[in-house]
């Protein structure tokens, strides 16, 4: 078997494998869409209706009547946007100080940040709850948003990429009389756009899909996030799968939109991080 034949066989196997993976990933999503468009009677119909015979949008309408779903969407959007913004600001400032100012003890502090990433989130729930209770933040948006001030992974990601930036830019800015904040704002951050975009997307997904921390902090129905609303539907209407699928699909839309908009920057950010030597 010559090299050309081997290459053809490899390409055929590669594309067949890719096609199988696409089907595996796509079928559950298609099933969610199909189920959300079915009436209650069609859910248990045999044989299974992969394509609804009488598609209906009643499930989507019912989602907004069984629970204040629109309010939950607003709560999730507000909390997520604030969470992402605070994470980027606090983590980028900390990373700039560690990577470029190089103050005494910077490496030790950075090592502490890395060590904190090894602590399971579940261990910190009770101490965090006590702290939030002391500050009277229970059942308030601030209790869910405030952990964004300290995000060890975000700092780690930005430090690794900032260290790759040449110091010549900073020295030239200092000669021109620029202060530290001006260097951070006008030089470092514009050069970090791909990495920041990657961080923003991953943080957005984390905050939007977070369930445990909002569950611990929020009990007011009008302040619950989308994940808590979906869990309520799952608990009260566990047999109405069409309603559950409709709610789940609605919750996926913002993440899909954000990824489509920022996928180019995200790919560049991953590439920059990958070639760091």
Last residue within a domain, chosen from 58, 76, 105: 58
141 and 47 assigned to the same domain: no
Last residue within a domain, chosen from 58, 78, 102: 58
Side-chain-side CA neighbours of 129 within 13 Å: the count stands at 13
44 and 14 assigned to the same domain: yes
Of 215, 203, 225, nearest in space to 90 by CA: 203
134 and 209 assigned to the same domain: yes
Last residue within a domain, chosen from 16, 33, 58: 58
CA-derived radius of gyration, the chain = 24
- Confidence at residue 277, expressed as pLDDT on a 0 to 100 scale: 40
88 and 134 assigned to the same domain: yes
Q: For the ranges 46-55, 164-173, 218-227, 252-261, which has the lowest average pLDDT?
A: 46-55
> In this model, does residue 273 exceed pLDDT 80?
no
79 and 21 assigned to the same domain: no
- Confidence at residue 274, expressed as pLDDT on a 0 to 100 scale: 45
Indicate the pTM of the whole model: 0.81
| Residue 207 CA: distances (Å) to CA of 80, 82, 87, 203, 216 | 5, 10, 11, 6, 14
Q: Which domain holds residue 37?
A: 3-58
> In this model, does residue 124 exceed pLDDT 60?
yes
Where do we find the tokens 């015979």? 53
Of 54, 224, 235, 53, nearest in space to 243 by CA: 235
170 and 120 assigned to the same domain: yes
What tens digit of pLDDT does each residue of 6-50 get? 788 888 888 899 999 988 888 888 888 888 888 776 766 667 777
52 and 161 assigned to the same domain: no
64 and 53 assigned to the same domain: no
- Confidence at residue 238, expressed as pLDDT on a 0 to 100 scale: 56
49 and 93 assigned to the same domain: no
Say how far apart CA 172 and CA 178 lie, in whole Å: 9
What tens digit of pLDDT does each residue of 79-95 get? 999 999 999 999 999 99
Name the percent of the chain lying above pLDDT 70. Answer: 90
| For range 56-77, the mean pLDDT | 84
CB 273 within 8 A of CB 157: yes
* CATH number of the domain enclosing 182: 1.10.3720.10
197 and 218 assigned to the same domain: yes
- Confidence at residue 242, expressed as pLDDT on a 0 to 100 scale: 81
What tens digit of pLDDT does each residue of 233-251 get? 765 555 677 888 888 888 8
CB 233 within 8 A of CB 64: no
Sorting pLDDT into bands at 50, 70 and 90, what band is 276? very low
- Confidence at residue 267, expressed as pLDDT on a 0 to 100 scale: 59
138 and 224 assigned to the same domain: yes
Q: What is the domain count for the chain?
A: 2
CB 84 within 8 A of CB 147: no
52 and 87 assigned to the same domain: no
Name the percent of the chain lying above pLDDT 90. Answer: 16
Task: Report the first-to-last Cα separation within the chain, whole angstroms.
Answer: 40
What tens digit of pLDDT does each residue of 98-121 get? 888 877 888 888 888 888 888 888
């Amino acid at each position: 078997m010559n090299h050309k034949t081997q290459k053809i066989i490899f390409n055929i196997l590669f594309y067949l494998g890719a096609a199988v993976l696409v089907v595996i990933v796509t079928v559950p999503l298609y099933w969610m869409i199909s189920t959300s468009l079915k009436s209650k009677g069609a859910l248990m119909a045999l044989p299974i209706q992969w394509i609804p015979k009488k598609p209906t949008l009643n499930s989507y309408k019912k989602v907004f009547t069984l629970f204040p779903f629109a309010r939950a969407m607003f709560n999730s959007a507000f909390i997520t946007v604030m969470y992402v913004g605070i994470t980027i600001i606090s983590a980028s400032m900390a990373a700039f100080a560690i990577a470029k100012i190089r103050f005494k003890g910077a490496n030790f502090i950075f090592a502490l940040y890395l060590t904190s990433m090894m602590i399971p989130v579940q261990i910190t729930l009770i101490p965090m709850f006590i702290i939030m209770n002391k500050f009277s933040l229970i059942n308030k948006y601030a209790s869910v948003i405030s952990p964004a001030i300290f995000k060890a992974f975000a700092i780690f990601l930005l430090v690794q990429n900032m260290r790759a930036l040449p110091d010549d830019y900073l020295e030239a800015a200092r000669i021109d009389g620029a202060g530290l904040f001006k260097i951070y704002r006008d030089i470092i951050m514009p050069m970090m756009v791909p990495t920041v975009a990657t961080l923003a997307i991953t943080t957005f997904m984390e905050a939007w899909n977070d369930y445990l921390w909002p569950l611990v902090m929020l009990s007011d129905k009008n302040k619950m996030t989308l994940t808590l609303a979906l869990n309520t539907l799952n608990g009260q209407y566990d047999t109405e799968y069409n309603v559950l699928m409709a709610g789940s699909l609605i919750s996926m839309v913002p993440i899909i939109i954000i990824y489509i908009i920022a996928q180019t920057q995200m790919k560049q950010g991953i590439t920059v991080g990958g070639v760091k030597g």
